[in-house]
Structure 1
Amino acid sequence: MSKIFVKDKMELKKSLMKKGYNIREFSDKCNVSNSYMSSIINGNTNLSAPLSKKISDELELKFSDIFFIQ
């Protein structure tokens, strides 16, 4: 089974900042807990396809710009 991970956590954090989000606000926007979003952003967990799509859509980035499938 494939897993989705963040490509570059620093780039993802920069993208959040450019859009004016902190982790708490962005996790609320994506309907996940702060701790789960933090774990995703820090590359400590994989995430679902729907959530990765929601994150990329909210940040107006391509999936392949911020995630990779392993």
Structure 2
Amino acid sequence: MPNEPSDTQRPTPPRHVSMQRQGPILVDGPVEVELEDGTTVSSDRFRVALCTCRRSRRYPWCDTSHRRRA
């Protein structure tokens, strides 16, 4: 049938993303992240934590800096 996808046209399954209250965004990897300045960083880990508080020294990757209170 013409409307059925072939083996080479199968859609990529959606990425799983978990939101954490006062914590990082967890994304099933591998991932590429485009930063504000247009540069791209990537990780091939099975799950990555993206920093949402901008306290991380490894931004955009979370280093749990959000746990410390200043």
Q: Which one has a larger percent strand, Structure 1 or Structure 2?
A: 2
Give the number of the structure with larger relative contact order, counting CA–CA contacts within 8 Å between residues 6 or more apart. Answer: 1
> TM > 0.5 between the two?
no
Which has the greater radius of gyration? 2
Q: Which one has a larger percent helix, Structure 1 or Structure 2?
A: 1
Q: How high is the TM-score relative to the length of structure 2? A: 0.23
